[in-house]
Structure 1
Amino acid sequence: MTVRSPHSGHRRRQNRTPLIVAAAAGVLAVTLAAQVALAGGEQGTATGGAGAHVLAVPRAAGEVRLTATRRVAGVLDGARTRFTGAGALGGGGRQAGRGPLFELADGAVLKNVILGAPAADGVRCLGSCTLENVFWEDVGEGAAAFLGRSADAVYTVSGGGAADAAGTVFRFDGAGTLTVRDFAVAGFGELVRSCGDCGERFRRDVVLENVTATVPGGRLVGINSDFGDTARLGGVTVVGDPGRDVVPCQKFAGATGGGPVRLGAGPDGVNCLFEESDVTFR
């Protein structure tokens, strides 16, 4: 397993490396197609070119190119529209510094949206938010960042899926509780990372429920035990990893001047709250 930077996946590779896991991708496609059916959408279609992970997503009902971040307050139902970045949000590669396609105000909901490539910095939540049946065909710089400052902030990712993340899929930089349920990811460095070197220190709680993760992958959750972070895992399946190389829960000591320090991993009844049986490798 390749060891990745503990800095919450904020560094990205400069050159895109194709990722091929044909058999595992088939399993992922079945999983996501089932999610689409449950969401009431049309039959899913496979997207992604040769050499990339194939992600089954709802059939796009339309295409929109965003040249500036779209700010959302209330509910935005994309009705299976595919959004991609253009202009300042466009360009190839995975360079940092671009804004998100969507910025969600506290309490906002983004649903039934497909983020194509390029997707810039994905989605940014400024407070509590819900992402429902959101699909990332190519994660790029990052799928979503959660930035609320209240300990009572609640972020929910329900349904959907993401493919081809060189680093972190969900960056948990703010405070509160992040729940990811009924979600599939294929090709990732980290699924969720609790920030260990942000300017403010927050306690963060992460919940993974009914998540399917297809290798290659590094770890599912990275938390800072000295901040009091917790990770609860249940019904998690790691596909294509019978050797158990993917780390379900990695603990860090948050930055004290030199960057986060990697500590232990695995269930401990304090910070990593799950049983071995809660994570299935196959």
Structure 2
Amino acid sequence: MFSDAFRTDRARRRAKAVRVSAAAAGAVAAVLIAGCASSNTPTGAAPSAGTVQPKAAGDTALTETRQVSGTFDGHDARFVGAGALGGSGQEEGQDPLFELADGAVLKNVVLGAPAADGVHCLGSCTLQNVTWEDVGEDAATFLGKSPDATYLVEGGSAAKADDKVLQFNGAGTLTVRNFAVSDFGKLVRSCGNCSTQFQRNVVLDTVKVTGPGKDIVGINSNLGDTAKLSGITITGDPGGKIVPCQKFEGVTSGEPKELGSDADGKNCVFSEADIVRQ
């Protein structure tokens, strides 16, 4: 649970954010994050952790979910929700701005605010150089049913997530590489109370984490989940409150219980050298 002060500060910042209403579906206001400069990384270049967000090349309002099969390259365009996708809160069941078919690739896209439920992957997918300026319900949700499904989030960043950034509801392996996250609840969460549960694997490699935040990854150790962390840098957390790997007792109904956060070499796999606090 977040403290009242944490929630109040989060609400105050969100109250200042520019929103796009249903009445503004045809006219999008630019949404900028204070202090962010344009990226020196060309479109399509290899991403690196902590790269500042790209300067959006244009703005597009989405009033319905855009379906993606194959590869969609946004060339650093900003997309925001409008109309039925104009929500930015934590209500469950919101539709995404983008829905990716099995094997699809979404790259070089900026998601502004409101962002609804971000991106849904129905099977294996790749999200490359995707930036979430202000996370809505979740930034991305992974829904594949096969234990062989693979999801890759490479490059990009996410900010202002009241709760989860990457929601892992399906089966398979999620890899997050060369990514940056700031002002968040959980970077990755293996679903704690989905009606159908799976054993899930998470790999975090070279991730820059900036507080405030709570958990970098949350897994269900009783269901055999694993999380391997390396190259994690944590800043903006003077009290050392950000937990690298939180274990839960996953359930199919009700609320999961916290079980511990030690690096046990089985479920939470990392060494002291893998987590650098600055």
The reply to whether TM is greater than 0.5 is: yes
- How many angstroms does 1:40 deviate by? 4.0
1: CA distance between counterparts of 2:253 and 2:138?
25
Structure 1 match to 2:152: 156
Aligned to 1:251: 247
Q: Counterpart of 1:9? A: none
Q: Secondary structure at the match of 1:18?
A: helix
Secondary structure of the residue aligned to 1:88 is helix
Higher mean alpha-carbon deviation, 238-247 vs 180-189, is at 238-247
8 Å Cα contact 2:196/2:252 also seen in 1: no
Q: Secondary structure at the match of 1:220?
A: strand
Kept after mapping to 1: 8 A contact 2:63/2:82: yes
1:206 equivalent to 2:193? Answer: no
**Matches of 2:189 and 2:208 in 1, distance apart?**
17
Q: 1:3 to 1:201 in 2, by over 3 A?
A: farther
CA contact (8 A) 1:247 1:266 kept: no
1:117 and 1:151 map into 2 onto residues whose CA distance is: 33
TM-score, normalised on structure 1?
Answer: 0.83
> How far apart are 1:143 and its partner, in Å?
0.2
Give the match's secondary structure for 2:206: strand
2:141 is matched by which residue type in structure 1? A
Residue ranges of structure 2 left out of the alignment (5+ in a row): 15-32
Give, in whole Å, the separation in 2 of the partners of 1:60 and 1:101.
Answer: 17
How far apart, in 2, do the equivalents of 1:215 and 1:240 lie?
5
Q: Higher strand proportion, which one?
A: 1
Tell me if the contact between 2:216 and 2:243 (Cα under 8 Å) persists in the aligned partners.
yes
Length, aligned pairs only: 253
Superposition pairs for residues 5-24 of structure 1, below 5 Å?
16-18=11-13
Question: What SS does the corresponding residue of 1:57 show, helix, strand or coil?
Answer: coil
Normalising by structure 2, report the TM-score: 0.84
Q: Is the 8 A contact 2:87 2:136 kept in 1?
A: no
Q: Alignment partner of 1:17: what SS?
A: helix
Cα distance change on mapping 1:16 and 1:140 into 2, 3 Å: farther
Q: Which runs of 5+ in 1 are unaligned?
A: 5-11, 20-24, 42-54
Q: 1:63 aligns with which of 59, 67, 70?
A: 59
Q: Distance in 2 between matches of 1:224 and 1:92?
A: 28
Change (3 A) 1:258 1:40: closer
Match of 2:121 among 121, 125, 130: 125
**Is 1:82 the equivalent of 2:78?**
yes
Q: What corresponds to 1:280 in structure 2?
A: 276
User: For residue 2 of structure 1, what is the amino acid of its counterpart?
Assistant: F
Cα distance in 2 for partners of 1:86, 1:257 equals: 33
Secondary structure at 1:156's aligned position in 2?
strand
The aligned counterpart of 1:182 is 178
Q: Secondary structure at the match of 1:226?
A: helix
Report the counterpart of residue 235 of structure 1 in structure 2.
231
Deviation at 1:243, TM superposition (A): 3.0
Helix, strand or coil at the partner of 2:64: coil
| Structure 1 segments of 4+ aligned residues over 3 angstroms from their partners | 1-4, 36-41, 91-97
Q: Is the 8 A contact 1:251 1:262 kept in 2?
A: yes
- Do 2:43 and 2:76's aligned partners in 1 also have CA atoms closer than 8 Å? no
Higher RCO (CA < 8 A, seq sep 6+): 1
1:2 corresponding residue in structure 2: 2
Percent identical pairs in the alignment equals: 57
Question: How far does residue 59 in structure 1 lie from its aligned partner after superposition?
Answer: 1.6
Kept in 1: contact 2:88–2:116 (CA 8 A) = no
2-side partners of 1:96 and 1:17: how far apart? 22
RMSD: 2.6
Mapped to 1, the partners of 2:149 and 2:180 lie a distance apart of: 24
Amino acid at match of 1:18: R
Corresponding position: 1:262 with 2:253:
no
Q: Give the Cα–Cα distance (whole angstroms) in 2 for the partners of residues 108 and 215 of structure 1.
A: 31
Give the Cα–Cα distance (whole angstroms) in 1 for the partners of residues 246 and 77 of structure 2: 36
Assess if the C-alpha contact under 8 Å between 2:88 and 2:137 holds in 1: no
